[in-house]
Structure 1
Amino acid sequence: MKKFAFASSLLAGMVTIAALVWHFDQTRQFSKRLDEQTEAIRDLRVQWQLSDPSNSDNRHSDIRIFGIKSNLLQTENQVLFIGDSITEAARLPLEICGHPIVNGGIGGASSFAYDRLVASMFEGRRFPLVVVAIGTNDSLVNSLPPPALSKSYVSLLDNISKLTSRVVVVGLPPIDTNRSLARFFSADLATSNNEIIRNIASQRNLPFVDLRGAMDGVKQSVTIDGVHLNAAGFKLWEQAVFPAVRQVACEAGSKPPG
């Protein structure tokens, strides 16, 4: 009888242990799926934040646009830089050839999104020079294919031509696929988009700043996360961009644009 009771207790214990193991395994699998879903939601949120800064829910864009408009009111005869977070983060000089500089970079902006903002942000203004340094966010993995960039970039330049007779076009910096943020971008699409931008600039006889030519072959990393430039990257960016901008800005003279 005692043997039977012991065997029953042992069996019950084994069943309990098996149940606990099964429950633990199910919990572990559920936790793994939850982590995967959380990561997917986080990825979607980042892509949404990057994809359209003109979205009314993007508070950074609202504040940034207010800051740009405020800067425009404080000086005259300005050289305007438009672009995305790379441009926004750049340490631009206060002036160049007597022209105050306004940094119009908006984090997350694509050429399509910025094109939608030009009329409302710069209505009634004229600039001696506009520097266009945008296009990286057109290379997001969920972006429209290259012909769409060509269309949006041409439209953007058409609208900018209403603001100025002088434009400098800046190409796209390389994407470091070994770093974290690069997973949201297509390096191949960025390369294709850079060539599209180069060709558009050539067709319009606009100066083109070849950032990739300046940065390719550099042994050290030029980004902090695969996309945004680090100190070394910005130094190369400045060395490539400022000579071209200075040449055109100086040619424009210090008189207000007509």
Structure 2
Amino acid sequence: MKTKAIALLLTLLSLSGWAQQAANYESEIAAFEAADKATPPPANPILFVGSSSIKLWPGLSEAFPGKTVLQRGFGGSEVADVIKFSPRIITPYKPRQVVLYAGDNDIAQSKKTAREVYNNVLTLFMLVRKNVPGATFTYVSIKPSPARRQQMAVQTEANALIKNYLSGQKNTSFVDVYTPMLNAAGQPRPELFTADSLHMNAAGYDVWKQAIAPALK
């Protein structure tokens, strides 16, 4: 518990430095809230939240037949941004499951270490446990991409730290999309990505769909 408390304190203290960046996402968060007023969201959905890999997933709501899915990815967000906006994009929905993809941008944009990404994910996990105690928490591993080959070692370390922690917690799961997105040489498969070599195309999302589907409640 002491370790958890220290991780939470360190992350919360760091949030002040994210204030300006997080302000850039206000319009996207406000758009979610406006959409919810116009059309009430489903009760107790499986909530997909995180960065652009969630935001840009075409047909996510229809990708998992028989599951009630709500898509709430935004911008080039990092874990700290999801923490900041969690009172508005997680808690109000009372999700039965939170599926998080974030951490990729933390390493590439803010040069976070694997341990820093892990600490932020741990903080978000504890917030979800506090505010939506019955929700299953699912972390989708940081993906490898041709545009971010130089960060693969840090990505792998962060994934391992998060997977190890969640394996000891109840009502959690870790989805490995990293491994199936590598070729036989251990490099990102270029055919899974759009022209920017960072965001995924339909083939890339199909890999995600196959990996995530078994973890959904």
Unaligned runs of 5+ in 2: 1-17
Alignment equivalent of 1:222, drawn from 189, 192, 195 = 192
Helix, strand or coil for the counterpart of 1:221? helix
Give the SS at the match of 1:243: helix
Q: Aligned to 1:137, which of 95, 98, 105?
A: 105
CA contact (8 A) 1:170 1:208 kept: yes
The Cα shift of 1:71 comes to: 4.5
Q: Which amino acid aligns with 2:151?
A: S
Given the superposition, is the C-alpha separation of residues 102 and 220 from structure 1 closer, same or farther in structure 2, using an over 3 Å criterion? same
**Residue 8 of structure 2: aligned partner:** none
Letter in 2 for 1:68: F
1:229 Cα shift? Answer: 1.0
Q: Does 1:86 align with 2:53?
A: yes
Matched, 1:65 2:29: yes
State the 1:129 CA deviation.
1.3
Q: Tell whether the 8 Å contact from 1:149 to 1:193 is kept in structure 2 after alignment.
A: yes
Q: Answer yes or no: is the 8 Å Cα contact 1:146–1:193 preserved in 2.
A: yes
Is the Cα contact below 8 Å between 2:142 and 2:177 reproduced in 1?
Answer: yes
Structure 1 distance, partners of 2:110, 2:41, is 38
Give the AA of the match of 2:157. S
Provide the residue aligned with 2:136 in structure 1: 166
1:52-201 map, 5 Å: 54-56=21-23, 58=24, 61-72=25-36, 73-90=40-57, 91-94=59-62, 99-140=67-108, 142-161=110-129, 162-163=131-132, 164-176=134-146, 179=147, 182=148, 186-201=151-166
Shift of 1:54: 4.9
The alignment partner of 2:61 has SS state of: coil
What SS is found at the alignment partner of 1:107?
coil
Match of residue 235, structure 1, among 192, 199, 206: 206
Counterpart-to-counterpart distance in 1, 2:109 and 2:35: 33
Quickly say closer, same or farther: Cα 1:71–1:198, change in 2 above 3 A: farther
Residue type at the aligned position of 2:192: V
In the alignment, which residue of structure 1 is the partner of 2:3? none
Q: Deviations over 1:160-181 (max 9, x none)?
A: 22224312221111121xx4xx
Could you list the runs of 5+ residues in structure 1 that have no partner in the other structure? 1-50, 249-258
CA distance in 1, matches of 2:96, 2:207: 25
Q: How many residues align?
A: 188
- Displacement of 1:156 in angstroms is 0.5
Indicate if the aligned counterparts of 1:130 and 1:166 stay in contact, CA closer than 8 A. yes
Contact 1:111 1:152 in 2 (8 A): yes
Instruction: Work out whether residues 80 and 130 of structure 1, in 8 Å CA contact, stay in contact via their aligned partners in 2.
Output: yes
TM-score by length of 1: 0.64
Contact 1:86 1:107 (C-alpha < 8 Å) held by counterparts: no
**Residue type of the alignment partner of 1:139:** I
- The question of whether the paired residues in 1 share the 8 Å contact of 2:114 and 2:155 is answered with no
Letter of the structure 1 residue corresponding to residue 160 of structure 2: E
SS of 1:207's equivalent in the other structure is strand
- TM (norm. structure 2) is 0.74
Looking at structure 2, the residues matched to 71 and 100 of structure 1 have their Cα atoms a distance apart, in angstroms, of 17
Amino acid of the residue matched to residue 233 of structure 1? G
Q: Post-superposition shift, 1:113?
A: 1.8
